[in-house]
């Protein structure tokens, strides 16, 4: 039944019990219906419902969403609780989210523990509350608060829920407190559905729709939730409930909800394999290099309580490293994330030095120095000589050969890649690069650090760019080709923003600096396939000193005072280069731009899968969403590809081969999927 029932005098106790977080599935709904009948048959004067363990209830069991809804439906369960002559009290011991909150809102009273949270985060799963949340919340806490909670999926802490009128009290032991409520007082509380809805407020609706256009562009569920709330204001309660339910059921079947559910479960499945050995205890960390990346990694570690020795090559480097971490600490204080005392704690945990012996006891070192093989080998030699012989040595390289770095040490089995993304203390992705000789112990240490830093860990094999940068390189190549052959950086950026990226590829480059791409291209010169088309526009930009936002000009110009403007000189470069190359430029429609950039990435990602660089399509989804801004509500690159359908992708890539057979060489995984009738998510080697 996923719940337990017990009587004590005239009180019925119902405990929701479906570990780990009491998700509400059919068995629990059956149990709740039975509990309503039981309480009435026993003529109790109250039922107290609470949750076993750390949660009250995390909401409807999202694993059930793929199939048809099963009776009894949650809105009917909530109605039965609300309309029962036995009043129910919710003793909210932990999180009450989604359907969990809806059960609580249908109770006559809500008493929360001090650490409880109550929220309706359904939009984060691409649906809206489907068991009365939209209608009951606004009756209890008013229109503004309800819109904020539901449209943005923001839960309230107990203290805020009390202020908002969503709960009646906060008590250390909410079950005990519920038992003490005076029966007469309880009998006088009006059931939520009988309360009048709040008055319409055109300004509040306009403001929330405006904010959603900026913060959640392209997403359907938040706007539909706002519509349901607005329409509900002028409907009878039962009619409004029917509208809410129909909207929930429609969205549940939609692509966005499927994509968001996929991401929710993929993120939680990103865990170390069960058979990995225990990692050594991470008592301290050595970080080598105090530039942007190293400082970000050091800051992330000291923020989570780990002592860090930040190693630099000389006094100037030590000063720069200390300054860089200091800037991050100051920014934390300015944003209100750090108190002055907290900041001091971070500084106390940081030792910046050029003396490697200061890290002599570190069980893990992360090298984040300049991307140069010889520099890295020299650093690894020093780490090899100074750290304990079983210390795990990681490189944060974005593309260099981890096996070559490992081979330069005495014991390559303790070397791996830990590829962070800038800013390292914010970006959730951590690519754990497994070299040919990386031991399970080293791998397990990478996972352990990822867990401490609350990262999403994804294991990648060794190749140029690992999973993410390798796919991203194809994205860049495809965008430059489209630019050269007929488009502009701003049209390409706009197309990708309309697809759901926060920024297009050219604006991203302007932010990171065009010198980075230039260095990568020079490194690839020796190994580039001579048959592959090379687009020289980015090199021209570099020669012109247009290095991006930091110098006021890149693909866009950045005049003083903020903002970016299109630069006709940049558009002319494509005209010139196309002329030199004898290319007749064509104008691309927005959908053609988007299609080419996405197909190029999908094809490369399929190769990444074929070569075992990524272990699953879901891992590629995590990388593209958490590291590269692919819209989460499209479910990641491979999930999106599967919504297009492999046969369609194969057909489109085959058609593009007429233009450039080298660039559009079909990945064997795509043809294999097409032959075997598999999706990319289902693919594994035959
Ligand atoms: C809804 O309620 C719709 C209704 O309005 C209408 C219905 C008609 N379903 O995150 P964790 C699993 S929509 C299934 O690692 P934490 C999760 O997969 C729902 N499973 O723990 C994981 O499994 P595993 C609205 C769920 O402490 C395990 O529980 N509710 C669900 O870091 C532990 O999860 C939400 O959107 C679920 N709903 O965080 C809340 N929730 O062990 C979604 C969790 O196999 N949940 N699991 O990997 C959360 O935000 C977090 O899980 C929570 C706990 C804060 C509760």
- The ligand 1 atom nearest the CA atom of 97: 30
Residue whose CA is closest, atom 43 of ligand 1? 58
pLDDT score, position 535:
96
Q: What is the 3-state secondary structure (H, E, C) of 505-524?
A: HHHHHHHHCHHHHHHHHHHH
> Could you tell me the two tokens for 222?
């938040």
Q: Give the active site residue among 42, 64, 82, 102.
A: 102
The question of whether 122 is a catalytic residue gets the answer: yes
Give distance in angstroms: CA of 555 to centre of ligand 1. 43
Give distance in angstroms: CA of 644 to centre of ligand 1. 28
Placement of tokens 């070299």 in the chain? 435
Which of 23, 29, 51, 59 to mutate to test ligand 1, by most ligand atoms within 8 A of the CB atom? 59
Rounded-to-integer distance, Cα 623 and Cα 266, Å: 11
Residue whose CA is closest, atom 23 of ligand 1? 268
Give distance in angstroms: CA of 23 to centre of ligand 1. 7
Rounded-to-integer distance, Cα 152 and Cα 209, Å: 11
Do 121 and 97 meet the contact criterion of CB atoms below 8 Å apart? yes
The question of whether 185 is a catalytic residue gets the answer: no
Rounded-to-integer distance, Cα 5 and Cα 47, Å: 10
Residue 624's H or E segment, with its range, is: helix 617-628
pLDDT score, position 524:
86
The structure's pTM equals 0.95
Instruction: Say if residue 72 is preceded by a cis peptide, omega within 30 of 0.
Output: yes
Q: What φ, ψ does residue 303 adopt, rounded to 5°?
A: -60, -30
pLDDT score, position 516:
86
Q: Which long-range contacts (CB under 8 A, 24 or more apart) does 305-310 make?
A: 305/349, 306/282, 306/349, 306/452, 307/283, 307/349, 307/350, 307/351, 308/284, 308/349, 308/350, 308/351, 309/284, 309/285, 309/351, 309/353, 309/358, 309/359, 309/362, 310/286, 310/350, 310/351, 310/352, 310/353
Strand intervals (E) in 341-496:
350-353, 364-367, 392-395, 415-420, 429-433, 456-460
Q: Give the active site residue among 82, 122, 244, 595.
A: 122
> Could you tell me the two tokens for 250?
């429609």
Residue whose CA is closest, atom 56 of ligand 1? 58
Rounded-to-integer distance, Cα 628 and Cα 630, Å: 6
Residue whose CA is closest, atom 14 of ligand 1? 61
- The ligand 1 atom nearest the CA atom of 271: 48
Which segments of 463-504 does DSSP mark as H helices, in order? 468-485, 489-499
Give distance in angstroms: CA of 203 to centre of ligand 1. 34
Rounded-to-integer distance, Cα 280 and Cα 18, Å: 33
Where residue 531 falls (left for φ over 0; alpha for ψ -120 to 50; beta otherwise) is alpha
Which segments of 84-220 does DSSP mark as H helices, in order? 99-106, 133-141, 143-151, 158-164, 174-180, 183-188, 202-215
Q: CA triplet 373, 374, 377: central angle to 5 degrees?
A: 85
pLDDT score, position 602:
98
Give distance in angstroms: CA of 308 to centre of ligand 1. 34
Give distance in angstroms: CA of 546 to centre of ligand 1. 47
Sequence-ordered list of residues with C-beta below 8 angstroms from that of 338, at least 6 positions apart, any chain: 329, 332, 346
Give the distance from CA 69 to its chain's centroid: 28
pLDDT score, position 685:
84
pLDDT tens track for 20-60: 999 999 999 999 999 999 999 999 999 999 999 999 999 99
Edge to edge, what strands does the sheet with 308-311 contain?
Answer: 350-353, 308-311, 285-288, 364-367, 392-395, 415-420, 429-433, 456-460
pLDDT tens track for 203-242: 999 999 999 999 999 999 999 999 999 999 999 999 999 9
Placement of tokens 């058609």 in the chain? 655
Sign of the four-CA dihedral 403, 405, 408, 409: negative
Do 346 and 298 meet the contact criterion of CB atoms below 8 Å apart? no
Residue whose CA is closest, atom 25 of ligand 1? 98
Give distance in angstroms: CA of 267 to centre of ligand 1. 12
Ligand 1-lining residues (CB < 6 angstroms):
20-21, 23, 55, 58-63, 74, 95, 97-99, 102, 121-122, 124-125, 127, 129-131, 133, 248, 265, 268
- The ligand 1 atom nearest the CA atom of 62: 9
Residue whose CA is closest, atom 27 of ligand 1? 21
pLDDT score, position 383:
96
DSSP 3: E
Do 463 and 623 meet the contact criterion of CB atoms below 8 Å apart? no
pLDDT score, position 346:
95
- The ligand 1 atom nearest the CA atom of 102: 5
Give the distance from CA 309 to its chain's centroid: 29
Q: Please count the helices (runs of H) and the strands (runs of E) in the chain.
A: 29, 20
| CB half-sphere exposure, 643, CA atoms < 13 A | 16
- The ligand 1 atom nearest the CA atom of 128: 5
Which of 62, 136, 155 to mutate to test ligand 1, by most ligand atoms within 8 A of the CB atom? 62
Nearest to 105 by CA among 66, 54, 145, 65: 145
Strand intervals (E) in 38-194:
46-51, 55-57, 88-92, 95-97, 109-112, 117-119, 156-157, 169-170
pLDDT score, position 315:
94
| CB half-sphere exposure, 575, CA atoms < 13 A | 5
Placement of tokens 């890649």 in the chain? 417
Residue whose CA is closest, atom 21 of ligand 1? 21
- The ligand 1 atom nearest the CA atom of 124: 36
Residue whose CA is closest, atom 16 of ligand 1? 21
Rounded-to-integer distance, Cα 577 and Cα 535, Å: 8
- The ligand 1 atom nearest the CA atom of 99: 2
Give distance in angstroms: CA of 427 to centre of ligand 1. 22
CA-atom Rg of the chain in angstroms: 28
Q: Please report, for residues 394, 564, 645, 649, 665, the alpha-carbon distance to residue 681 in angstroms, rounded to integers and kept in the order given.
A: 30, 39, 11, 15, 21
pLDDT score, position 371:
87
CB atoms within 10 A of CB 168: 21
DSSP helix/strand/coil, 286: strand
pLDDT score, position 199:
96
Residue whose CA is closest, atom 24 of ligand 1? 268
> Could you tell me the two tokens for 36?
């309503």
Query: In DSSP terms, which residues pair with 47 in a beta bridge?
Result: 12, 88
Q: What φ, ψ does residue 277 adopt, rounded to 5°?
A: -70, 165
- The ligand 1 atom nearest the CA atom of 63: 14
Residue whose CA is closest, atom 28 of ligand 1? 20
Give distance in angstroms: CA of 61 to centre of ligand 1. 7
Give distance in angstroms: CA of 34 to centre of ligand 1. 24
pLDDT score, position 88:
98
Rounded-to-integer distance, Cα 14 and Cα 17, Å: 9
Sequence-ordered list of residues with C-beta below 8 angstroms from that of 236, at least 6 positions apart, any chain: none
Averaged pLDDT, groups of 10, the chain, 686 residues long: 94 97 98 98 97 97 94 98 97 98 98 98 98 98 97 97 97 97 92 95 98 96 98 96 98 98 97 92 96 95 95 95 96 92 94 96 96 94 95 94 95 97 94 97 97 97 94 96 97 98 96 90 89 95 96 94 92 96 95 98 98 97 97 98 98 97 97 97 91
> Could you tell me the two tokens for 528?
């580039």
Nearest to 309 by CA among 319, 298, 300: 298
């Amino acid at each position: 039944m996923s719940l337990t029932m017990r009587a004590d005098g005239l009180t019925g106790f119902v405990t929701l019990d479906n570990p780990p977080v009491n998700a509400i599935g059919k068995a629990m709904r059956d149990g709740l219906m039975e509990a309503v009948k039981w309480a009435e048959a026993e003529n109790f004067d109250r039922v107290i419902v609470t949750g076993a363990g750390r949660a009250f209830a995390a909401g409807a069991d999202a694993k059930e969403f793929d199939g048809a809804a099963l009776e009894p439906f949650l809105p009917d369960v909530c109605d039965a609780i609300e309309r029962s002559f036995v009043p129910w009290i919710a003793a909210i011991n932990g999180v009450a989210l989604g359907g969990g909150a809806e059960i609580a809102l249908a109770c006559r009273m809500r008493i929360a523990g001090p650490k409880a949270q109550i929220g309706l985060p359904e939009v984060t799963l691409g649906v809206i509350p489907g068991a009365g949340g939209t209608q009951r919340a606004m009756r209890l806490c008013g229109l503004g608060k309800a819109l904020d909670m539901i449209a943005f999926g923001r839960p309230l802490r107990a203290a805020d829920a009390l202020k908002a009128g969503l709960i009646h009290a906060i008590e250390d032991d909410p079950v005990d407190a519920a038992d003490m409520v005076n029966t007469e007082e309880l009998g006088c509380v009006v059931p939520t559905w009988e309360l009048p809805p709040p008055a319409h407020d055109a300004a509040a609706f306009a403001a929330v729709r405006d904010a959603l256009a900026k913060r959640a562009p392209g997403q359907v569920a938040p706007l539909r939730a706002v519509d349901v709330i607005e329409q509900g204001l002028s409907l009878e309660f039962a009619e409004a409930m029917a509208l809410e339910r129909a909207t929930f059921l429609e969205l549940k079947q939609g692509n966005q909800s499927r994509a968001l559910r996929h991401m929710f479960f993929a993120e939680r499945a990103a865990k170390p394999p069960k058979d990995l050995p225990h990692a050594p205890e991470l008592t301290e960390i050595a970080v080598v290099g105090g530039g942007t990346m190293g400082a970000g990694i050091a800051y992330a570690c000291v923020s989570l309580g780990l002592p860090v020795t930040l190693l630099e090559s000389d006094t100037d480097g030590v000063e720069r490293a200390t300054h860089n971490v200091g800037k991050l600490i100051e920014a934390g204080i300015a944003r209100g994330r750090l108190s002055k005392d907290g900041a001091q704690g971070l500084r106390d945990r940081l030792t910046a030095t050029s003396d490697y012996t200061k890290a002599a006891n570190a069980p893990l070192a992360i090298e984040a120095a300049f991307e140069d093989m010889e520099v890295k080998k020299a650093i690894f030699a020093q780490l090899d000589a100074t750290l304990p012989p079983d210390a795990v040595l990681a490189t944060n390289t974005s593309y260099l050969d981890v096996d070559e770095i490992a081979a330069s040490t005495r014991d390559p089995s303790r070397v791996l890649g830990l590829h962070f993304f800038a800013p390292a203390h914010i970006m959730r992705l951590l690519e754990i690069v497994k070299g040919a000789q990386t031991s399970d112990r080293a791998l397990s240490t990478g996972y352990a650090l990822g867990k401490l830093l609350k990262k999403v860990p994804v294991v990648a094999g060794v190749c140029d760019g690992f999973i993410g940068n390798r796919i991203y390189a194809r994205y860049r190549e495809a965008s430059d080709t489209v630019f050269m052959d007929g488009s502009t950086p701003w049209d390409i950026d706009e197309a990708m923003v309309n697809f759901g990226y926060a920024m297009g590829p050219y604006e991203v480059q302007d932010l990171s600096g065009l010198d980075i791409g230039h260095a990568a291209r020079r490194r690839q010169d020796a190994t580039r396939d001579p048959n592959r088309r090379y687009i020289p526009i980015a090199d021209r930009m570099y020669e012109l000193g247009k290095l991006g936002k930091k110098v006021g000009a890149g693909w866009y110009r950045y005049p003083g005072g903020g903002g970016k403007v299109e630069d006709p000189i940049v558009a002319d470069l494509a005209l010139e280069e196309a002329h030199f190359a004898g290319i007749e430029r064509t104008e691309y429609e927005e959908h053609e731009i988007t299609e080419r950039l996405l197909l190029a990435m999908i094809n490369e990602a399929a190769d990444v899968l074929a070569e075992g660089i990524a272990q699953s399509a879901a891992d590629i989804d995590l990388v593209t969403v958490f590291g590269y801004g692919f819209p989460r509500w499209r479910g990641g690159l491979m999930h999106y590809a599967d919504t297009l359908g492999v046969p369609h992708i194969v057909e489109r890539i085959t058609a593009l081969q007429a233009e450039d057979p080298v660039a559009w060489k079909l990945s064997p995984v795509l043809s294999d999927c097409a032959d075997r009738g598999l999706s990319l998510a289902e693919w594994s080697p035959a």
